[in-house]
Chain A
Amino acid sequence: MTDTLTRRRSTEEIARSRPAWQRRLTSDRAARLTFYVVAFLFWIALAGLFERIPGPPSVVDSLVEEFRRGEVFGNFADTFYRFGIGVALSVGVGILVGVVIGLSPMARAFLESPVLVGLSIPAIMWAFLTVMWFGFGHTSPIVTTFLTAVPFVILNVAQGVQGVSRDLRDMSSSYGVPLGRRVRELVLPAVAGYVVAGLRFAVIMGWNGVLLAEWFGGSGGAGYRARFWYDANQFAGFAAWVVLFVGVIIILDQLLLERLSRRMFRWRDATH
Chain B
Amino acid sequence: MARPVIEAPPTTPAGTWLEGEELARRAAARTRRKRLALLVAGWAAMLGIWQVAAYYLPFGTLPNPLEVSVEMWEIVASGALVSDFLASVLKTFAGFGVAVLIGAPVGYLMGRYGYWRAFFLDGVTVAGTIPALTYAVLSLIIFGLSNLGPVLAVALVSTPYVALNVAEGIRGVDQNLVKMSQAFGRSPQQIRREVFIPTIVPYLFAAVRMSFAVAWKVEALTEVFGGTNGVGFQIRTRYQLFDITGVIAWMALFIVFMLLIERLLLRKLEQRVLAWRPEERAAR
- Chain A residues packing against B (C-beta within 8 Å): 26-29, 31-32, 34-36, 39, 50, 52-53, 105-106, 109-114, 116-117, 119-125, 128-129, 132-133, 204, 207-208, 211-212, 215, 223, 226, 230, 235, 238, 242, 245-246, 249-250, 253-254, 258, 272
Contacts and interface: CB of A to CB of B under 8 A. Distances in A.
Given A35-B122, A121-B255, A128-B239, A250 B34 contact: no
B126 A246 contact: yes
A34 B118 CA distance: 10
Give the dominant DSSP class at B's interface: helix
A223 B46 contact: no
Contacts of B55: none
Given A31-B118, A133-B57, 16 more contacts: A27-B118, A28-B114, A28-B118, A34-B119, A52-B144, A109-B39, A114-B46, A121-B251, A124-B224, A128-B244, A128-B247, A207-B131, A226-B137, A246-B129, A246-B134, A272-B171
B134 to A, nearest CB: 5
A110 B41 contact: yes
B258 to A, nearest CB: 6
B93 interface: no
A255 B121 CA distance: 15
Contacts of A238: 137, 141
A113 to B, nearest CB: 4
Contact of B129 (A128, A129, A226, A250): A250
B217 A117 contact: no
B275 interface: no
4 smallest beta-carbon distances between A and B, as pairs? A31-B118, A208-B131, A28-B118, A109-B38
Contacts of A254: 125, 129
B141 A109 contact: no
B142 A35 contact: no
Contact of B133 (A27, A110, A215): A215
A114 B220 contact: no
Contact of A52 (B116, B141, B171, B259): B141
Contact of A249 (B61, B116, B119, B130): B130
A61 B132 CA distance: 25
B4 interface: no
Contacts of B73: none
Given A35-B122, A113-B42, A121-B255, A53 B130 contact: no
A109 B115 contact: no
Interface string B47-79: 000000000010001100000000000000000
B116 A31 contact: yes
Give the dominant DSSP class at A's interface: helix
A226 B225 CA distance: 14
Nearest to B213: A119
Given A35-B119, A124-B224, A109 B131 contact: no
25 contacts: A26-B115, A27-B118, A29-B118, A32-B119, A35-B120, A36-B122, A53-B142, A109-B35, A109-B42, A110-B45, A113-B46, A114-B42, A114-B45, A120-B217, A121-B255, A122-B220, A122-B251, A124-B235, A133-B61, A133-B62, A204-B128, A204-B131, A238-B137, A245-B131, A249-B129
Contacts of A35: 118-120, 122-123
A132 B62 CA distance: 9
Given A32-B118, A36-B122, A249-B131, A110 B38 contact: yes
Contacts of A245: 131, 134
A258 B128 CA distance: 13
Chain A CB count within 10 A is highest, among B57, B144, B221, for B221
A212 B132 CA distance: 9
B221 A106 contact: no
A253 B130 CA distance: 11
B139 to A, nearest CB: 11
A29 B132 CA distance: 29
Chain B CB count within 10 A is highest, among A116, A208, A258, for A208
A227 B195 CA distance: 49
Chain A CB count within 10 A is highest, among B125, B132, B258, for B132
B221 A122 contact: yes
Contacts of A230: 137
B138 interface: yes
Contacts of B144: 52
A105 B224 contact: no
Interface in B212-256: 213, 217, 220-221, 224, 235, 239, 244, 247-248, 251, 255
B184 interface: no
Contacts of B17: none
B43 interface: yes
A111 B123 contact: no
A32 B116 CA distance: 9
